[in-house]
C-alpha cells in the first residue's frame, strides 16, 4: 500500500496517492466554467443493511470537481497537478 501524501495546490487539497486520473470537462450549460475532474482510486466499504442484518460490500468510485473560468487555466492546473502526481509516484518507487 502506498503511503499517503497530502498536497495543496490551485485551490485543491488531495491525497496524491489516491489519484487515478485527471480529466478536463469542457464548458457546461450549468455555468460552472471548465471543470478539472480528479478521479480517485476505487475502494470498497462495508455498509450495514438493517433489512438483511448483514454487511454489504460496496464499490466506491469517487471524484472531485473544481471549476475554472477558462480552458487554459484548467489545462495549466491539470498539467501542474500531473507533475506533482508523477513526482510523488517516483518518490514512492
Which tens digits make up the pLDDT trace of 75-88? Answer: 999 999 999 999 98
pLDDT given at position 52? 94
Q: How confident is the model at residue 29 (pLDDT cuts 50, 70, 90)?
A: low
Residue 16: give the domain boundaries.
Answer: 6-92
- Which is nearest to 33 in space by CA: 65, 79, 61, 80? 65
Q: pLDDT exceeding 90 applies to what percent of the chain?
A: 63
In a domain? residue 1: no
Please tell me which residue, 1 or 39, carries the higher pLDDT value: 39
Indicate the number of domains in the chain.
1
Lowest mean per-residue pLDDT among 25-34, 37-46, 56-65, 82-91: 25-34
Task: Report residue 47 as a C-alpha cell.
Answer: 455498509
What is the per-residue pLDDT for 76?
Answer: 95
Per-position b or e across 81-93, b if 16+ CB within 10 A of its CB: beebbeebeeeee
The answer to whether residue 55 is domain-embedded is yes
> The dihedral of CA 42, 48, 50, 53: what is its sign?
positive
Q: Is 65 a domain residue?
A: yes
Measure the CA–CA gap between 82 and 41, rounded to whole angstroms: 15
Amino acid at each position: 500500500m502506498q503511503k499517503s501524501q497530502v498536497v495543496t495546490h490551485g485551490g485543491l487539497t488531495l491525497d496524491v496517492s489516491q489519484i487515478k486520473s485527471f480529466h478536463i470537462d469542457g464548458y457546461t450549460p450549468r455555468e460552472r466554467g471548465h471543470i478539472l475532474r480528479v478521479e480517485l482510486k476505487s475502494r470498497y466499504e462495508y455498509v450495514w443493511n438493517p433489512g438483511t442484518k448483514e454487511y454489504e460490500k460496496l464499490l466506491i468510485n469517487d471524484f472531485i470537481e473544481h471549476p475554472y473560468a477558462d480552458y487554459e487555466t484548467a489545462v495549466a492546473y491539470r498539467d501542474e497537478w500531473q507533475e506533482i502526481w508523477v513526482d510523488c509516484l517516483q518518490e514512492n518507487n
